[in-house]
Amino acid sequence: MKGRLAAVLVFSSFFTICGIAQNSGMGPRTSMSNGMGGVVISGSVVTPQGTPIGEARIEVRDLQTGTAMASGYTRSDGSFEFSALPMTNYEVVALHGMAETRERVPAGEMNASITLRLNTAGTNVQQADGTATVSVAEYRVPEKARQAFHKAEAALAKNKLEDVSKYLSKALQIYPSYAPALTLQAVMALDKNDTKSAIDELDKAIHSDPGYAMAYTATGAALNQLARFDEALRACDRAITLAPEAWQAHFEMAKSYIGKAEYQHALEQLARAQQEIPRDYAPIHLVRAHALLALKNYNDAVTELQAFLTLVPQGPDSSEVRETMAKVKAFMASNAAPPSIATR
């Protein structure tokens, strides 16, 4: 977006709507292959001690090309299943926060069942009953530091950036290990395109409070700026493990997948963000339009661009969006080169 302040304002809602949430009890959210084969890959993800891990991300990749043929998340009992996969050699990857493990499935196995063991030492694992360990770091923060941070939040909502910096500095003077203050300070650095400082601040926040989901999402945003998309996906996945309702993490994951040219996965993450967000969020429509254009789904792309303009008729991006929409419509009426739209 024009004016990187918009990226900062996205994070202002972190400090009011993100938090630890229980598993919804739904089954895995998967992306199924459209292949004509009938291979079924199922299994479970557990700790080395055998404890089921819910909400672990699963990717089924073609071993030859590395392409993700299917993806989803484990159920609360750690189980998963993918079907209708073509016959080939696969590698199944399980990700939970920063932990990762993988298992190969050779061609010829029509019904493969595997158990993936993840070493989750140092992470907050979602147990089979859907509960998660809640960090107690927040309870150590002095009240005066909390008050200063809340004033920084209020100043951010009013776009008073000098006051934001002033109150964050005060909060961190009182308590240098205050993870939310460090995270917001990092987001402010991202607004100034100072990615290195942002990542340094986020590393401090995560070290101070490994259970603070927002720090991981902001890390994902910073890594996206550096085009380190796989690392961004891992950081956001960790955020979602800690806070399943963190729509911002899904939004950043969508941007990561667009960077990897995995547009269908991007659309899936945007759909999940849309489900979790408490209001309609215009940039989701803009990023979705980008993915749809790449997939040559021009009608739906126009719908998304119009939805953006309905929400933001006079914003800094509105003029560019109108121009893009006009180009898309012109292309649909002719055989001109298809347009594209930039996402920031």
Per the CB < 8 A criterion, the answer to whether 40 and 111 are in contact is: yes
Best CA proximity match to 242, nearest among 209, 266, 281: 209
Distance CA 300, CA 306 (A): 10
3-state class of 121 per DSSP? Answer: coil
Residue-level pLDDT at 122: 47
**Residue 40 is inside which H or E element, if any?**
strand 39-46
Cβ contacts of residue 249 below 8 Å, gap of 6+? 213, 216, 217, 220, 236, 237, 239, 240, 243
- How sure is the predictor about 22, in pLDDT bands with cuts at 50, 70 and 90? very low
State residue 130's pLDDT score: 41
Please report which residue ranges of the chain form alpha helices under DSSP H. Answer: 5-12, 14-17, 143-157, 161-174, 179-191, 195-208, 213-225, 229-242, 247-259, 263-276, 282-294, 298-311, 318-332
> What is the value of pTM for the model shown?
0.63
Q: If pLDDT is split at 50, 70 and 90, which confidence band does 95 have?
A: confident
Place of tokens 């720090």: 215
Both tokens of 206, joined, read 């995560």
Query: Nearest Cα to 255, choosing from 243, 247, 263?
Result: 263
Query: What does pLDDT average to over the chain?
Result: 80
- Give the least confident one: 20-29, 77-86, 272-281, 308-317: 20-29
pLDDT at 15: 34
What domains lie within the chain, and their CATH numbers? Answer: 5-20+136-243 (1.25.40.10), 39-117 (2.60.40.10), 280-332 (no CATH)
Looking up tokens 């005066």 gives 144
Residues of the chain with pLDDT > 90: what percent?
A: 42
Cβ(250)–Cβ(18) below 8 Å: no
For the record, the structure tokens of 107 come out as 């061609």
Is the pLDDT at 169 greater than 60? The verdict is: yes
Q: Calculate mean pLDDT across residues 233-260.
A: 90
Tens-place pLDDT, residues 113-131: 999 998 765 444 444 444 4
Q: Which of 17, 20, 11 is nearest to 55 (CA)?
A: 20
- The 3-state DSSP class for residue 1 equals coil
